């Protein structure tokens, strides 16, 4: 799904339902570096030199991680693969381990809805608490004459500290992110569609309705595999 499609909301629910871990490449990378594994050392060197960690290193980190006991019954990915080349490399690595991608859940959301969701987010830096001008505004929020929130009125409900918006949560930045998603990530769906494993969900529906559809499609897929 595109930025703001609801992956962060639905992911934890899938984890709870299926009892399998959600694997974030960022978390796995930091963990490998902290543990000082062979591939973690390679990644640390690249990052120390100011470079970008290669797909080869990321795939190696994933290969190590899925050998752990909690992945025995399966796992879901968060933020990977993002490109067609990463998807193909993932397929090859899984095939080498006698495994395969079994399902791809695609959350479809209208771009206008994505902008409303993403550009309305405000965050408390210290705690990470997240607010939204429409869905979960801070108690202190006041609107200007243009109907938009006054930045100086956006304060955390608990601490009273000023909230901030991430640089990539602006309309201009979102457009670039969506363009990148369309050109780099959407081809992944075309890659997996012939296998019949891509399940599309109306991510623009209310959260509970989205989860109901996700749950049904997960159950149907599991039944077919069983």
Selecting among 125, 148, 166, 175, the annotated active-site residue is 166
| Residue 112: exposure state from Cβ atoms within 10 A (0-12, 13-18, ≥19) | exposed
Would residue 215 show up in a list of annotated catalytic residues for this protein?
no
130-132 and 76-78 strand pairing: unpaired
Find the angle CA(59)-CA(64)-CA(69) to the nearest 5 degrees: 135
Would residue 166 show up in a list of annotated catalytic residues for this protein?
yes
Q: What are phi and psi of 24, to 5 degrees?
A: -100, 130
Tell me the C-alpha distance between 155 and 137, whole Å.
10
E-state strands within the chain: 22-24, 76-78, 104-108, 121-123, 130-132, 198-202
Stated length of the chain: 226
DSSP 105-170: EEEE--HHHHHHHHHTEEE-TTT--EEETTTB--TT--B-TTSSBPGGG-B-TTT-PBPB--TTSS
Three-class SS of residue 69?
helix
Contact 184, 83 (CB under 8 A): yes
Would residue 7 show up in a list of annotated catalytic residues for this protein?
yes
Q: In sequence order, what are the beta bridge partners of 130? A: 123
Selecting among 44, 88, 121, 222, the annotated active-site residue is 121
Selecting among 13, 63, 82, 88, the annotated active-site residue is 82
Selecting among 177, 199, 200, 215, the annotated active-site residue is 177
Active site residues: 7, 82, 121, 166, 177
């Amino acid at each position: 799904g595109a930025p703001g499609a609801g992956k962060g909301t639905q992911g934890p629910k899938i984890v709870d339902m299926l009892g399998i871990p959600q694997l974030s490449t960022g978390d796995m990378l930091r963990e490998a570096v902290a543990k000082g594994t062979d591939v973690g050392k390679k990644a640390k060197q690249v990052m120390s030199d100011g470079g970008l960690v290669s797909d080869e290193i990321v795939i190696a980190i994933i290969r190590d991680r899925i050998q752990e006991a909690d992945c025995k019954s399966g796992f879901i990915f968060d933020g990977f693969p993002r490109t067609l080349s990463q998807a193909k490399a993932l397929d090859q690595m899984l095939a080498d381990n006698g495994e395969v991608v079994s399902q791809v859940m695609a959350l479809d959301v209208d771009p206008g809805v994505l902008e409303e969701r993403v550009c309305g987010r405000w965050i408390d830096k210290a705690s990470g608490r997240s607010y939204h001008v429409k869905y979960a505004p801070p108690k202190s929020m006041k609107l200007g004459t243009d109907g938009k929130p006054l930045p100086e009125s956006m304060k955390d409900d608990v601490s009273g500290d000023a909230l901030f918006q991430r640089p990539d949560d602006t309309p201009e930045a979102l457009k670039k992110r969506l363009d990148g998603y369309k050109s780099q990530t959407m081809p992944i769906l075309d890659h997996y569609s012939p296998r019949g494993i891509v399940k599309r969900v109306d991510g623009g529906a209310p959260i509970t309705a989205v989860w109901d559809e996700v749950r049904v499609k997960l159950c149907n897929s599991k039944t077919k595999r069983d």
